[in-house]
Structure 1
C-alpha cells in the first residue's frame, strides 16, 4: 500500500513529465522510435487526439509539439508527435517512414501502437484521431489515410513531395493496385470518403531538387514523377485523385509561402478547430 509521501511524489512526477509539454518517450511497440506530447491540464471524455508528423529533418517534431500546445490547451486536445529517426536499420536511410514500410518496419503499425500506448496512459480510448504532417510528414499522412481511413476523423496533408494516387492500375507507392500484397490491406474507398481532408502548400513552394525521382534512386519506379513537377502540382493531382474517390478536400494554396511548416500551421489549426466544433456540437 502506497504512503502519502509516495502518492505526492507520483503526482509531482506526473505533473513534471506527463502533463503540459512532456518528456520524450520510447515507444513500447518498438523502442527504436520515440514520441513526445502536449497534454492539457485536464483530460475528459471530450478530449481529442491530434497527431503531428515531422518532415525529413526530424526537428519539426518539437516545433509541432510547441506550436500546437496552445491549440491543444484551448481546444481540449492531446498533441502526439512521433519521432522516426534517420536510419533505424543502421543504413542511414532518411525516407523510410514516408512510404510506410522499411525492411521489417511498418510505420503505420508503429504509429497505431503509440496511439494505443498514449490512450492507455491517459485513460482514454482514441480509436479515431486527427493526423497532420508537413513535407515528409505529408507523405506519411496521406499514405496512412489510404491504409487506415477508419482510424481518422481528419487528415491535413502539407506539401508532400511525392504522392500516392488512388490509381488501381499502378503498384505502390505510385498507385494502390497491390495494397493487399504489400500491406495485407484492401483499399477502403467508403472509409476514406468519411475522412475530413485538408491539403495545403505554399504557392512559392517550387523547388524540385529534392522531390524529383531519378532512375537508380531508392524510391524510383515508373510513374514516380507523373503527378507533376512541383509540390503544388503534385498536391493538386492528389486532390483530384481523392475527389474522384468521393473524398471532400479543402485545398489551401497559401500565397507568398515557400517550403515553411510554421507559416501554414495556423491554417491547419483553423481547419481542425472547425471540425472540433462540429463534432462537439453534434
Structure 2
C-alpha cells in the first residue's frame, strides 16, 4: 500500500507555521510552533506567548522555542506588531499598550482567541514572556489582564511602569483606569507567578537614557541607570505590593534576549510540570 501524500495545505498549520494576519486587525501578524503530533481531537495544549522587542525577532523566538514545545507539550505563539504602524519609522508603540487608537493588549487577546479556535490550545489563561521592548509590553499587559495569565516573565525592560498611582502613566499607574477602562486588580496580580530576568552584563545605557526621544519621560532616570537597576526597582515595587518575584540575573549575558531563553524555559517548564 502506498503512503498517502502529505496535505500540502495542512502541513503549514503544524510545526513552524507561516505568519498569519490577525482576523481582527490585518496589520498585525502571528506565527506558531505546533507539535506535529498535535491533532484537533486531542486535549488542548497550553499556550506560551513570546512577545518580541524593538527588533521584531518573532520568527527567531518561534524557532528557538521549538524544542521546548515538543518536550513540554505546548504551543508557542509569537505575535508580530510591525514597526511604522500609523506613523513611518515609529518603533515603540506596542510597548505602552495603546498607540493612536490601537490597543495592543486587546489585539493580543484577539490573536490568542483566534489561535484557540484554529490550533486547539488553551486560551482561558496563557504564559507570557517578553524581553526588552517585549518585557515592557509584558509587565504592562500583566497590569491590565492578570486574569488571562498563567505566568509572566519580564525580561530586561528599558523603561518600567511602577504600580504607583501617584506617578503619571507610564512611569506609574496614575490614570490607568481612565486611560484603559480597566481597574488594576491587585489580588489578581498577586496570584500570577512572576519572573524577572536580565543579563548580568546588561549595562549599556545608550538606548535607555535618551532624553527627548519619543519613548522618554522625565523621571525615568530615577528608576536606575541600567536595565539591571531598573528591573531591581520594579522588583522592589512589586514586592512592596505583595507580588512575589523570581529574580534571575544571568551571568555573562548582555542585552540579548535569545541568550536568556534557557532560564526563562526553566521557569516555564516548572510551572507546566505542575499543571
Tell me which of 212, 224, 230 is aligned to 1:228: 224
8 Å contact 2:45–2:120 — kept in the other structure? no
Q: In structure 2, the residue corresponding to 1:225 is in which secondary structure? A: helix
Most deviating of 216-225 and 70-79: 216-225
Alignment equivalent of 1:142, drawn from 139, 143, 161? 139
Between the aligned partners of 2:216 and 2:251, the Cα distance in structure 1 is: 31
| Separation in 1, partners of 2:207, 2:62 | 26
1:68 to 2:65 alignment = yes
Unaligned runs of 5+ in 2: none
Mapped to 1, the partners of 2:123 and 2:6 lie a distance apart of 25
Corresponding residue for residue 254 of structure 2 = 258
| 1:276 corresponds to | 272
User: How does the TM-score come out when normalised to structure 2?
Assistant: 0.94
Whether the 8 Å CA contact 1:205–1:231 is kept in 2: the answer is yes
Deviation at 1:11, TM superposition (A): 4.4
- For the Cα contact (< 8 Å) 2:15–2:34, is it kept in 1? yes
CA separation in 1, counterparts of 2:22 and 2:143? 24
Give 1:25 shift.
0.3
Following TM superposition, where does structure 1 have runs of at least 4 consecutive aligned residues deviating by more than 3 angstroms?
8-12
If the length of structure 1 is used for normalisation, what is the TM-score? 0.92
1:27 and 2:22 aligned: yes
Match among 167, 172, 190 for residue 193 of structure 1: 190
Task: Count residues with an aligned counterpart.
Answer: 269
**Is it true that 1:246 corresponds to 2:242 in the alignment?**
yes
Deviation at 1:9, TM superposition (A): 8.6
* Superposed displacement of residue 131, structure 1: 0.3
Confirm or deny: 8 A CA contact 1:46 1:76 kept in the other structure.
Answer: no
